[in-house]
Copies of this chain bind each other. A is one copy, B any other.
Amino acid sequence: MLVTVIGLGLIGGSLALELKKRLGYTVHGIDANVANAQKALALGIIDKIVDFNQIADSDVVVLAVPVNFLPDLAINVLDTVKKDTIVFDMGSTKEKLSKTVENHEKRTNFVAVHPIAGTEHSGPEAAIYHLFDDKVNIICDKELSSEVAVTKVLDIFNALNMRTIFMNSAEHDKHIAYVSHLSHISSFMLGKTVLEKEKNEKNIFDMAGSGFESTVRLAKSSPNMWTPIFIENKENILSSLNEYIDNLTAFKNLIIEEDKKGLQQTMLETNHIKEVLTGIQK
């Protein structure tokens, strides 16, 4: 099985490693950044660096580049590969990509995939073996892909011990704006606010154990990856961000009014997130 992975960062690199090490596939790698490709080769994440014009014979092509490059890349790859090559992306936004490939003659070769896994680190050196294990994988618009393609993708992600769920692209982008993209913005702005105020960084370091360290973790994430996500999923993110700012403002007003009952009640209701995250439904 010959797989070409385009984009050898945290996600593409981690998948390449799994395909090679766990599944025994031959993995070719492409990265616009030559140094990244060489690092991936040196780290044993891929078997060989190839050019775009060498992808035609791959059984599977994986697109793991920032989401702004995905639509054009998907079209170019589908134009280039052989008739039965399976192509899937791993991006965090789906609607625009989905519309772009909609009428391509090889649309059924394509599967829109989003494995919910990652860390705040980036680049091939951030690739982790077992990154995907026991996490959730999302396949979007599966009815637009061939059964063969979906089955192959499921085989791969099942082998990585992921649990795959299905939804359409529009639903995916809406939910992920709230549950993932908003978390990143809240964390980035928390980091910014604290950095602006605390000119003496020693104070931040000393007090980081008080909850800050975990809430600000995502502020270490890659701007190259996140800038295009925020633009691509603009409408959903703006809705979530407006609601978040409204909630913060309402909470601020409770503090101004010293409304103990209101503060208590708001936090108590939000504590329900405990049960949600342990999978217990009310």
Contact = CB atoms under 8 A, between A and B. Distances in A.
A197 B243 contact: yes
Contacts of A183: 190, 210-212, 215-216
Interface residues of A, number: 92
A165 B206 contact: yes
Assembly of this chain: how many copies?
2
Contact of A263 (B223, B266, B267): B223
Interface in A59-98: 92
Interface of A is mostly: helix
Contact of A273 (B219, B226, B279): B219
Contact of A192 (B230, B252, B270, B281): B270
9 contacts: A176-B210, A178-B193, A179-B194, A180-B211, A189-B247, A190-B244, A227-B260, A231-B255, A245-B245
B195 A211 contact: no
Contacts of A243: 193, 196-197
A238 interface: yes
Contact of A276 (B182, B204, B224, B244): B204
Interface of A: 92, 116-118, 135-136, 138, 165, 175-176, 178-180, 182-198, 201-221, 223-224, 226-228, 230-231, 234, 237-238, 240-245, 247-249, 251-252, 255-256, 258, 260, 263-264, 266-274, 276-277, 279, 281-282
B205 A276 contact: yes
A222 to B, nearest CB: 8
Given A220-B271, A248-B245, A136 B237 contact: no
